[in-house]
Amino acid sequence: MHVLHPSLIVKAGSKWASSDKLNSDDFEQSNHTVCSNRGTNLSAYNFEDEDISLRTNSVEHGLKLVLEGRCDAFLTLEEVAANTIFRSDDQNQKSNLVIVPADTGTTFDLHLMISKAAPNPEKLLSSINRELMKLEKSGRITELWAKYR
């Protein structure tokens, strides 16, 4: 099973870009803005509602706000941000955003849900689990996560 990592996305060259980990204390000064998606479980990041300056409707919008300087940091999962940046045609995102782990000690298990209404859901689940185990056993899954982070 792969785990997901709470992170903050910051602009390359910012004072936070070279940090090993970040937490809400790093943004305590009122002139720093932290953004998150609406509905983000802030406690998983050790942030509270009053720590958030702006709520967005998407990761794409949050990354744009960081690039525009409207947010100093955007709370999201490392893997979600990496995938969003990887899929983007915006070279500015790829070269000017940095993903820094949140200092939380918390991770989330990644789950895949399959509808019982799908044709042969048990067979599909068994097949997916078998292939994931092969990828994990060979070390390939770790290579893929590292490549696309």
pLDDT digits (tens, 9 = 90+) for 71-127: 999 999 888 888 888 888 878 778 899 999 888 877 777 777 888 888 988 898 889
Specify the residue for token string 């899929």.
87
Per domain, the residue ranges of the chain are 3-108, 112-147
Helices (H), 6-138: 59-68, 78-87, 91-96, 121-138
What CATH number does the domain located at 3-108 have?
A: 3.40.190.10
Per-state percent for the chain, helix, strand, coil, to nearest 5? 40, 20, 40
Q: Give the integer Cα–Cα distance in Å for 54 and 122.
A: 42
Q: What Rg, from alpha-carbon coordinates, does the chain have?
A: 17
Structure tokens at 14: 């910012």
